[in-house]
Amino acid sequence: MGRAFKLLSCKPLDLLDKPYPHWYKNPVMYIAIEGVIGVGKTTLARLLQQRFEAELRLEVFDENPFLSDFYADRARYAFQTQIFFLLSRYHQQNRFTPDILSQGKNLITDYTFAKDALFARINLDGDELEMYYNVHDALAEKIQLPELIVYLQASTDVLMQRIARRDRTYERQMERDYIDTLNTAYEDFFDDYFKGVPVLRIPTDDLDIVSSTTAQEQVEHAIRAALRDAPRQTQLPLD
């Protein structure tokens, strides 16, 4: 018997509760895969690319010069790290998303622009957080929302195991409490955000997406079912 995954729609966070610009309809598919560090976003995105005949765009994160220092001393390097990621994610999505969709191609990404604000709420406070919001809000108005969010869930213990298994140098000092905080924040984030954009929740603690063809097919079928129920997403504003 196949697994049952939960599809839901979400409401916007107060910090980004602003009307989005008018978008026009576009028949192509745009999926973003989300979840906490180590959950398997990039792995799933790569596996789904061929199944959906889609263009693949992965987040560029290892170019952040502050990342290793941030994991060693989050308070000291949080603002530099966050602003670098914000601008990097903006440039990545603002460049490739309109180009790909305007060519009538499907698109799969392993992150959303909006998640940047989630990390900012955890890592920043005071004047730094207020400055971050000002920049983020100005940029977010120009970013296209995906048609469907695939949210991969995992327990904190499983996430720590996966992080240790992939053994990235800059993640070796990552604390369990930080991942646990992120896990809770992600649950709240995808319970309240993306108004009008369906979110497909997929628990992965016992789901072997990497090596199980059956698991891959289950996820693919769940995504196709969610897309059938979702309104066709949009392309660029006509301004």
Encode pLDDT of 115-169 as tens digits. 899 999 999 999 999 999 999 999 999 999 999 999 999 999 999 999 999 998 8
- % residues pLDDT > 90 (the chain): 65
- Name the least confident of 69-73, 127-131, 179-183: 69-73
- 6-229: CATH topology is Rossmann fold (3.40.50)
Residue 3, pLDDT > 80, answer no
Residue linked to tokens 């390097």: 77
* Dist. CA 11–CA 145, nearest whole Å: 14
Domain range summary for the chain, segments of one domain joined by +: 6-229
The secondary structure of 90-117 as a DSSP string is: HHHHHHHHHHHHHTT-EEEES--STHHH
Query: 110, 137, 188, 206: which one is catalytic?
Result: 110
Residue 16, pLDDT > 60, answer no
Q: What is the pLDDT of residue 52?
A: 94
Q: Which amino acid is at 34?
A: E
Q: What is the pLDDT of residue 6?
A: 61
Average pLDDT, the chain: 84
The arithmetic mean of pLDDT across residues 82-104, rounded, is 94
Longest dimension (CA), the chain: 52
pLDDT top residue among 1 and 150: 150
> Helix or strand or coil: residue 12?
coil
Task: Give the full edge-to-edge strand order of the sheet including 148-153.
Answer: 6-9, 198-203, 148-153, 30-34, 106-109, 54-57
Instruction: Please tell me the pTM assigned to this model.
Output: 0.82
Q: Which residues contact 213 (CB under 8 A, 6 or more apart)?
A: none
Cα-flanking dihedrals φ and ψ of residue 200, to 5°?
Answer: -100, 115
Q: What is the pLDDT of residue 44?
A: 96
Helices (DSSP H) in the chain: which residue ranges? 41-51, 67-72, 74-102, 115-123, 126-140, 156-166, 176-192, 213-229
pLDDT top residue among 67 and 27: 67
Active site residue 110: yes
